[in-house]
Amino acid sequence: MAAITFDHVSKTYGDGFRAVADLDLEVHDGEFVVFVGPSGCGKTTALRMIAGLEEISEGEIRIGERVVNNLPPRDRDVAMVFQNYALYPHMTVAENIGFALRMRKVPKAEARKRIEDTARIIGLADHLDRKPRQLSGGQRQRVAMGRAIVREPRVFLMDEPLSNLDAKLRVQMRAEISRIQRRLRVTTVYVTHDQVEAMTMGDRVAVLRRGVLQQFDAPQRLYERPANLFVASFIGSPAMNVLEATIERNGDGLVGRIGADTLRLPDARPALAGYAGRKIALGIRPEGLDEAAAGSGGRLRGVVRAVEALGPEQLAHVELEAAPVLAEDVLEGLVDLEEARDLAELRTERDGSPRALVVARLDASSAVRPEQTVELSVDLGRLHFFDLETGASIGE
C-alpha cells in the first residue's frame, strides 16, 4: 500500500485545453478517496495521470516515495477498473483475472491459487471457465474488480465502475466494493459523477470543477460545511436551496431579509457583520425547512406547488416571494437537470416580484397539499452563507 501525492499537477492538452489545474492533494495510505464532479471537471484525467495513461504537463505525482511522472503504467504497481469493464472477450474469467499474473511470470501453481482466492472474494468461484459474454453486467464488473484484486497492487484506481449497472445492482456493488476495500486496505481512488456514491463510499471526497479542486474533505464535512456555492449545490439530494438575502443590523444582532420575510441570524457568525447592507447567498438544506409550528423562530411564507411522497418523508416544492441565486456556481452544481430548469423558469418575475422554488423535506404525516399557502420554519443553526460575488462560504 502507498500514499498518492498530487504536487501542483496540471494537465494541458495540445489544443490548449486545461483539464486539470494545479491539483494539490494527498491520498493517505489505505484511504478510499473519491474524485467527484460534473462531466468535464477533470476527475478522470486526474485518475488516468495516476495510472500513467495520460502524461502530466506540470507538477509531480508520487506513489509512496517514488515520483511516477515518467514511469510506464506497468511499472507503477497500480490496478484499474474501467467504466466499461474492458474485459478480454476471448479469455475465460480465470484467464482474465490471471492475465496480469501471466505478464509478471508468476508460477502457474501460485497464479492458480491466487485466481481461485480472488474468485471467492468476488463471488465468482463457479464461473471461472465462462467467457465474459456469458456473464451478466454485475458479474462482468466483478471480474473487472477481480482482475484488480489479484494483482495485490499498491493502489486501486476505479473509473466510474458502477455507472453501467442498473440502480439496484449499483447499490449492491457499492457495498461490495467498500467491503473489499476495507478488507484489503489498498489505497483507492474512485472516480464518479454520482454524489451519492461519493458520499457513501469515500473516506474523503475531492470535489472538482473545471479542473480545479473545490474542496477535499470527509463526506459529512462537505455536506455540513461546503467551501463554496458550487460544492453546496453539488453535494446533497435534493440540492441545497439558495436564495438571495440582504443582511441588515437589527439592534445588537443581524437579520437576513428574504423577499418579504425576515430571519434573525445566529450570533455565532461574526464574519457576517461585514456584509451588513449587502446581498449574500443564503443556503438552506431541505431538512432545514419544516412546517411552522406556533411560536417557532424564523419563518418563510410560500405556496406549495408540488408534493412528492417518498414513503418515509415528503418533498414539498414551495414557491417563495424571494429571489433565487442563479449564479453559474449553483446551476453547474445541480446534478438534477429538472432542478436547474425549475430554477431558471422562476427567473421570470410574477407581479413584479421575483419568485424562488425551494424544496422542504417534510414528515410523511404532513398534510400539505399543492396550491396551499404554508409557513415554513427555518432551522437557523443550519443556515449556510456565501459571498455572492466569489461564491465562497462566509466563515464563522
Partner 1 sequence: MSSATAAGRPSTALRSEASAARRRRVGKLVSYGVLAAIAIIYVFPFVIAVVTSFKTDPDATQNPLSLAPSPATTGAFRQLYQDQDFLLWLKNSAIVTLSVTFLRVFLDSLAGYALARLRFRGRGAAFATIVAVMAVPGVVLLIPKFLMIRQLGMYDTYYGMIIPLLVDAAGVFIMKNFFESIPISVEESARIDGASIFRIYWSIVLPMARPALVTIFILSFQGSWNELAHFIISAQSSGLNTLTKGVAQLASGQLGVGNRYPLKLAASVLMTIPVAVLFFVFQRRIMNVSSGAVKE
Q: Could you list the residues that contact partner 1 (CB under 8 A)?
A: 51-53, 72-74, 76, 78-80, 82-90, 99-100, 103-104, 131-135, 137, 140, 147, 151, 164
Q: Residue written as cell 499498491? A: 154
How near is the Cβ of 83 to partner 1 at its closest, in Å?
8
For partner 1, give the closer residue by CB, 85 or 190: 85
Joined together, the cell numbers standing for residue 256 give 437576513
How near is the Cβ of 151 to partner 1 at its closest, in Å?
8
Using CA atoms, how far apart are residues 258 and 256, in angstroms rounded to an integer?
Answer: 6
Are 303 and 375 in contact by the 8 Å Cβ rule? The answer is: no
Distances (CA, A) of 177 to 99, 123, 198: 21, 12, 12
Q: Which residues contact 254 (CB under 8 A, 6 or more apart)?
A: 247, 248, 264, 265, 269, 272, 273, 276
How near is the Cβ of 79 to partner 1 at its closest, in Å?
7
How near is the Cβ of 181 to partner 1 at its closest, in Å?
18
Q: Residue written as cell 473545490? A: 214
For partner 1, give the closer residue by CB, 28 or 131: 131
Strand partners, 289: 378
Residue 134: DSSP 8-state: G
For partner 1, give the closer residue by CB, 133 or 168: 133
Residue 50 identity (one-letter amino acid): I
For partner 1, give the closer residue by CB, 142 or 317: 142
Taking alpha carbons only, the member of 271, 268, 273 closest to residue 249 is 273
How near is the Cβ of 313 to partner 1 at its closest, in Å?
34
For partner 1, give the closer residue by CB, 98 or 302: 98
How near is the Cβ of 43 to partner 1 at its closest, in Å?
16
Residue 353: DSSP 8-state: B
Strand partners, 378: 289
Strand, helix or coil at 62?
strand
For partner 1, give the closer residue by CB, 102 or 341: 102
Q: Which helix (H) or strand (E) holds 234?
A: helix 229-234
How near is the Cβ of 161 to partner 1 at its closest, in Å?
11
In this structure, the strands spanning 187-192 and 155-159 are parallel
For partner 1, give the closer residue by CB, 159 or 339: 159
How near is the Cβ of 81 to partner 1 at its closest, in Å?
9
For partner 1, give the closer residue by CB, 140 or 317: 140
Taking alpha carbons only, the member of 219, 240, 243 closest to residue 230 is 240
